[in-house]
Structure 1
């Protein structure tokens, strides 16, 4: 796993360096920054119910993408270490066939202070227009075992130029629980949005949380 993570990090760094050196073939970079009162992932708080500051950088060229994302966290890793930072690396492709949009990629979730929590997943997702909105399915398969995936059905729909609703229902086989979430998003500007969301996970505390999202 560590070797695979190092290879992914080097490849990502080389990609960004190469794109800066060749302006005629650089693709595009985008950035995101989020502030939330509770970092909830797959229905479970990663910050023990506390706030998180998050942000990431994404590179895209054609149907290829790669990126990194960071957040503070607060939980105990499998071997007893205290995890306080999450740093993710990911890359993939997003082909389209007619009205079907696909996403195939790999994600590494790393925790510098809690190495036993570091893990990887393969991602396969597809979405299709549903009126003005969309509906999709996604599966995330652990790279270490290639079994017991997390899979979900998700949907989103715009209510107006400012308001939209979205949600998902999922099953996490390796953790043995089901989860769902539903929320509403309001676009404050073209680059700033506020999301209010509620989630439930089987046999775990429910979560109501707000997230301020900036993208540029």
Structure 2
């Protein structure tokens, strides 16, 4: 685990160095942005991907000049049933606007690094977000699907509705409820609520409560208060 964390942290610093090198975007070639951070638990779809342990993550994003098309390589530390402690991903998507709604349509391929031999160590994930903001209020409907996930889980779907409110230009509260149904794994309903606060234009802190209606004795589905810090350039 220490070796995996060291590699992930080194990748984070490389992302920062690359970000600082992008002082002036090149017209006609799109723009790069970079972010990394860590939290006390790695929560995805309200379930833990790190068995309740802390994790680190990082990503880079290239966006076309129009903002319509983007590509994102990323990594995050995990504790998976495949034996892997590091997940890497490559995603591509588009961000159109339709009838006043912002859409984000993305296809992503994920790999579990150093997974146990014979385990299913990769999978596709497709995401469709529909977002709308009116004044300080915001809402997002998220639909996700995988035809064959990593590990023993096969096809799954996730549907979630999130609402948010900007109290100030720095402080935002959001709450979300979602439903996940999986072949060869647990079906559950999850929810979360919390706050994000912009410490600076590049640093954001977050505190969020997560819970599910699945087995509370399993750290993957147990409730938790998660604190995190992220940096973006």
Name the TM-score class by shorter chain: 0.7 to 0.9
| 2:38 maps to 1:35 | yes
Give the alignment partner of residue 193 of structure 2, picking from 172, 179, 182. Answer: 182
Counterpart secondary structure, 1:116: coil
| 2:62 maps to 1:51 | no
Higher strand share: 1
| 1:144 Cα deviation from its structure 2 partner | 4.1
TM-score w.r.t. length of structure 1? 0.82
CA contact (8 A) 1:122 1:143 kept: no
| 1:148 Cα deviation from its structure 2 partner | 4.3
Once residues 35 and 146 of structure 2 are traced to their aligned partners in structure 1, the CA distance between those partners, rounded to angstroms, is: 26
Give the alignment partner of residue 202 of structure 2, picking from 177, 187, 191. Answer: 191
Counterpart secondary structure, 2:120: helix
CA contact (8 A) 1:101 1:126 kept: yes
1:91 equivalent in structure 2? 92
TM-score w.r.t. length of structure 2? 0.77
CA contact (8 A) 2:133 2:139 kept: yes
CA contact (8 A) 1:133 1:156 kept: yes
- How many pairs were matched up? 192
**Per-residue CA shift, 1:61-119, capped at 9, x if unaligned?**
12001101111111322xxxx11101111111000024210111101121122251421
Trace 1:1-216 onto structure 2 (pairs within 5 A).
23-61=26-64, 62=66, 63-77=68-82, 82-114=83-115, 116-144=120-148, 148-174=156-182, 175-203=186-214, 204-216=221-233
Once residues 117 and 43 of structure 1 are traced to their aligned partners in structure 2, the CA distance between those partners, rounded to angstroms, is: 21
Once residues 34 and 114 of structure 2 are traced to their aligned partners in structure 1, the CA distance between those partners, rounded to angstroms, is: 25
Q: Alignment RMSD, CA only?
A: 2.1
**Per-residue CA shift, 1:36-55, capped at 9, x if unaligned?**
11111112221122111111
CA contact (8 A) 2:202 2:232 kept: yes
Once residues 108 and 25 of structure 1 are traced to their aligned partners in structure 2, the CA distance between those partners, rounded to angstroms, is: 27
Counterpart secondary structure, 1:195: strand
Counterpart secondary structure, 1:75: coil
Greater CA deviation, 85-94 or 154-163? 154-163
Counterpart secondary structure, 1:181: strand
CA 1:70–1:147: 2 relative to 1, 3 Å: closer
CA contact (8 A) 1:43 1:207 kept: no
Once residues 139 and 127 of structure 1 are traced to their aligned partners in structure 2, the CA distance between those partners, rounded to angstroms, is: 12
User: Which runs of 5 or more structure 2 residues have no equivalent in the other structure?
Assistant: 1-21, 215-220
